[in-house]
Amino acid sequence: MSRLVYVLNGPNLNLLGKRQPHIYGHTTLADVEAECRALAGELGLEIRFHQSNREYELIDWIHEARETAGGIVINPAAFTHTSVAILDALNTFDGPVIEVHISNVHKREEFRHHSFVSLRADGVMAGCGTQGYSLALRRVGWLIDEKARQDG
């Protein structure tokens, strides 16, 4: 099984570290990517790290991952609560999917409590700050290994 993991980030995450730091902190998306790349190396994973404010680009990357990747880590941001299209795309992916949210969405506005993506996700990291990405990478790596052991 492929040890490639797509790390996908939705709208406004390009502003991480600058937008609402009282909620999301001061870590930038470039910092998150560097941490993910370092950890991926330790775990023997390869990553493709992408961010887009456009729903269709996230869907295109999910479709691409179907052909090449063993897992997906996705922070769909606001698309979490609105995008059946992203859910449908994730439902075409056979490997593990871990959903990440920097803030604890359950302590925020009620509309943020519903996630379409969670209907497909094998795990959800919420409220762990940007450390949620590292936790998600560890989990997706473990799930990839577990599937390889089962397919044995």
Catalytic residue among 50, 101, 106, 114: 101
Which residues fall within 8 angstroms of residue 140, CB to CB, at 6 or more apart? 5, 45, 70, 71, 72, 73, 96, 97, 98
To the query of whether residue 24 is one of the catalytic residues in this protein, the response is: yes
To the query of whether residue 101 is one of the catalytic residues in this protein, the response is: yes
**What does each C-alpha distance from 11 to 2, 4, 19, 74, 81 come to in angstroms?**
27, 23, 12, 12, 12
Catalytic residue among 6, 24, 63, 113: 24
Half-sphere exposure of residue 108: CA atoms within 13 angstroms, side-chain side: 16
Residues with a catalytic annotation lie at 24, 101
